[in-house]
Amino acid sequence: MANFLIVDDSRTSRRILKGILENAGHTVIGEATNGQEGYDRYVELQPDVVTMDITMPVLDGIGGLKKIKEAYPESKVVMVTAAGQKNKMVEAVQCGADEFIPKPFDAEQLVATLSKVIGA
């Protein structure tokens, strides 16, 4: 079981993801709505895993990923992807993304992917 920070500009996505994580026994210790806020909350909360949406205002998920990985190379950051984001996925891998979970969320697949990241 792990502590999660959810970074997503969509309130609905955050709510759904939080429900799936909590049903699986995880704890959501914080939420943020863009890459900059995600980084700030990471520094403050030091979660085990971050879920990072890609398309967000102010600073997108790639920017948020870069900031977190530069300051905390040991961090675990999982990118939340939508259809048609192949180029962004390549960029995210280059920036150190640990895994990808696709939107719309599939609870079973998502929990399995996260278990792999946590090493559980």
Residues in touch with Mg ion (CB under 5 A): 9, 53, 55-56
Whether 109 contacts 100, CB under 8 Å? no
Q: How far is CA 117 from the centre of its chain?
A: 11
- In the complex, the smallest distance separating the C-beta of residue 57 from Mg ion, rounded to whole angstroms, is 9
Which residue number, 3 or 10, has a Cβ lying nearer to Mg ion?
10
- In the complex, the smallest distance separating the C-beta of residue 77 from Mg ion, rounded to whole angstroms, is 16
Residue 57 and residue 109: Cα distance in Å, rounded?
28
- In the complex, the smallest distance separating the C-beta of residue 85 from Mg ion, rounded to whole angstroms, is 11
Q: What would you report as the CA-atom Rg of the chain, rounded to the nearest whole angstrom?
A: 13
Which residue number, 31 or 53, has a Cβ lying nearer to Mg ion?
53
Whether 77 contacts 32, CB under 8 Å? no
Which residue number, 51 or 75, has a Cβ lying nearer to Mg ion?
51
Which residue number, 56 or 79, has a Cβ lying nearer to Mg ion?
56
Closest CA to 65 of 56, 77, 73: 77
- In the complex, the smallest distance separating the C-beta of residue 53 from Mg ion, rounded to whole angstroms, is 4
